[in-house]
């Protein structure tokens, strides 16, 4: 095609080769593949179908499409890259790279929006401009994301200059103060014309107009630059029927203040009652007071402490944890003041008594023993002798059994 004479065109080459013009043009585009993709094609890492799809794109987008042509797959040899089918790659390109012009907010025929880009009608980067290269793309699309975004930015700027009263909205749910309204601060409306036959149908809220309805421009997301109808008034009864009125909000706040005040009053009163009780407590504690403390402590014992304490007090609980607590609390109710005092101290020393090691500096059991002048060494020797006697008796029984055998 670059020869001077004779002059060749795609049509003449297609006629001479016996192929369609689309076939010839697609093969010529293979010469425009970027080096990594061209090398993969020559090494048969991608098929001719994959190469033709990628070759249609500008050089700046070919690497992205080439990477999308492979999918990671875990096999017995580890993670490997598998080539996806041509049809799947074509769908990916159409969804991720080709930008549909039908949804663009700007005028496709406007040559002044971005002067260096011109209008989309005469742009060779438009799929509809080159049907030979994109015969399978049904929706007219742009193959240049940078140019597409530049036109959207220019469209947003021009729209705000001509209509400064437009509300700026965001596709994000929340927004910072001073930023476009978040998705939770407005309702996008889809006002439809009434049916010609006059039939009345119940419309959803977003299809109903209201007095607070206004125009807004989308500042981000897939609909950036589009001007839509919105209701941004939280007090609108049409689009926010569940939102309480200011009077109702004030009533609820007043009721909440009363509830908090009542709760504070009750808690403060009970604190005063407790303080007064403590002022009148005399030592030693009466049986009812000791029993109240004992029942509280038993109710707060851990799962490991309840069986140990129940066993020490010969309470047989064959059911669950709560039944053991109930039986233990019931038996404690029969104790006198002396036994209750011992129980309270026993509960406080229970964990220390079941420790395997007494190397800790804070050994409350040993401290209590010192207070009550318990000779721990003497007890240790006595326990050692008991263990020795049991050990000797066991050895004697084993010897007698072996002799009998």
CATH number at residue 51: 1.10.10
344 and 276 fall within a common domain:
no
Cβ-proximal residues to 142 (8 Å cutoff; 6+ apart), any chain? 98, 99, 100, 101, 104, 120, 123, 125, 126, 127, 148
Which of these, 301, 295, 300, 403, lies nearest to 350 by C-alpha position? 301
**Spatial distance between the Cα atoms of 298 and 333, rounded to a whole number of angstroms:** 12
* pTM, 2 dp: 0.51
Which of these, 3, 7, 65, 53, lies nearest to 26 by C-alpha position? 53
Residue 77 clears pLDDT 80, i.e. is over it: no
Please give the span between the terminal C-alpha atoms of the chain, in angstroms, as a whole number.
111
Residue ranges making up the domain that contains 47: 10-104+123-138
14 and 94 fall within a common domain:
yes
> By three-state DSSP, how is residue 19 classified?
coil
Q: Are 317 and 327 in contact (CB under 8 A)?
A: yes
- In a domain? residue 176: no
Range with lowest mean pLDDT among 50-64, 95-109, 180-194, 279-293: 180-194
CA distances from 402 to 283, 390, 394, 395, 396 (A): 63, 19, 13, 11, 10
- In a domain? residue 375: no
251 and 131 fall within a common domain:
no
33 and 133 fall within a common domain:
yes
276 and 289 fall within a common domain:
no
Give the residue from 138, 162, 186 where a domain finishes: 138
43 and 86 fall within a common domain:
yes
Taking residue 187's Cβ as centre, other Cβ atoms within 10 Å add up to: 21
- In a domain? residue 263: yes
23 and 99 fall within a common domain:
yes
**Spatial distance between the Cα atoms of 225 and 24, rounded to a whole number of angstroms:** 39
19 and 92 fall within a common domain:
yes
272 and 290 fall within a common domain:
no
248 and 351 fall within a common domain:
no
- In a domain? residue 364: no
- In a domain? residue 167: no
Q: pLDDT tens, 341-374?
A: 999 999 998 888 887 555 555 688 888 889 889 8
352 and 275 fall within a common domain:
no
- In a domain? residue 287: yes
- In a domain? residue 383: no
**Spatial distance between the Cα atoms of 84 and 140, rounded to a whole number of angstroms:** 25
Write down the pLDDT at residue 38. Answer: 95
Give the residue from 112, 138, 164 where a domain finishes: 138
32 and 87 fall within a common domain:
yes
Which residue pairs, CB below 8 angstroms and at least 24 apart, start in 149-154?
150/114, 150/117, 151/104, 151/106, 151/113, 151/114, 151/117, 152/104, 152/105, 152/106, 152/224, 152/225, 154/106, 154/113, 154/114
Instruction: Give the number of domains in the chain.
Output: 3
**4 token code pair:** 């001077």
Q: pLDDT tens, 229-272?
A: 999 888 787 887 777 777 888 898 999 999 999 999 989 998 99
Half-sphere exposure of 393 (CA within 13 A, CB side): 6
- In a domain? residue 186: no
Average pLDDT over residues 317-325: 75
């Amino acid at each position: 095609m670059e020869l001077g004479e004779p002059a060749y065109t795609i049509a003449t080459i297609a006629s001479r080769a016996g192929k369609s013009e689309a076939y010839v043009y697609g093969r010529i585009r293979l010469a425009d593949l970027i080096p990594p993709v061209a090398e993969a094609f020559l090494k048969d890492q991608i098929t001719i179908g994959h190469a033709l799809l990628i070759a249609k794109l500008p050089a700046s987008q070919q690497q992205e499409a080439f990477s999308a042509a492979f999918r990671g797959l875990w096999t017995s040899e580890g993670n490997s890259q598998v080539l996806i089918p041509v049809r799947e790659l074509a769908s990916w390109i159409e969804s991720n790279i080709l930008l549909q012009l039908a949804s663009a907010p700007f005028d496709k025929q406007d040559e002044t929006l971005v002067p260096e880009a011109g209008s989309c009608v005469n742009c060779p980067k438009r799929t509809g401009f080159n049907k030979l290269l994109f015969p399978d793309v049904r929706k007219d699309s742009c193959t240049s994301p940078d140019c597409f975004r530049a036109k959207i930015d220019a469209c947003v700027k021009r729209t705000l200059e001509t209509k400064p009263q437009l509300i700026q909205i965001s596709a994000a749910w929340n927004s910072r103060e001073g930023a476009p309204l978040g998705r939770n601060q407005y309702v996008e409306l889809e006002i439809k014309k009434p049916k010609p036959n006059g039939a009345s149908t119940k419309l959803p809220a977003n299809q109903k107009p209201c007095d607070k309805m206004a125009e807004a421009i989308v500042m981000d997301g897939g609909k950036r630059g589009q001007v839509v109808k919105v209701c941004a008034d939280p007090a609108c009864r049409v689009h926010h029927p569940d939102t309480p009125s200011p009077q109702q909000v004030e009533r609820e706040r007043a009721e909440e203040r009363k509830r908090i005040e009542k709760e504070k009053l009750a808690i403060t009163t009970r604190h005063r009652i407790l303080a007064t009780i403590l002022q009148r407590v005399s030592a030693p504690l009466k049986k009812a007071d000791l029993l109240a403390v004992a029942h509280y402590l038993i109710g707060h014992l851990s799962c490991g402490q309840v069986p140990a304490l129940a066993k020490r007090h010969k309470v047989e609980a064959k059911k669950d944890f709560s039944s053991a607590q109930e039986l233990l609390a019931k038996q404690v109710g029969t104790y006198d003041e002396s036994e209750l005092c011992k129980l309270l101290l026993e509960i406080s020393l229970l964990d220390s008594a079941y420790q395997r090691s007494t190397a800790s500096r804070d050994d409350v059991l040993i401290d209590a023993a010192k207070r009550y002048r318990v000779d721990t060494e003497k007890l240790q020797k006595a326990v050692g002798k008991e263990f020795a006697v049991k050990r000797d008796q066991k050895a004697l029984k084993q010897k007698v059994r072996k002799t009998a055998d």
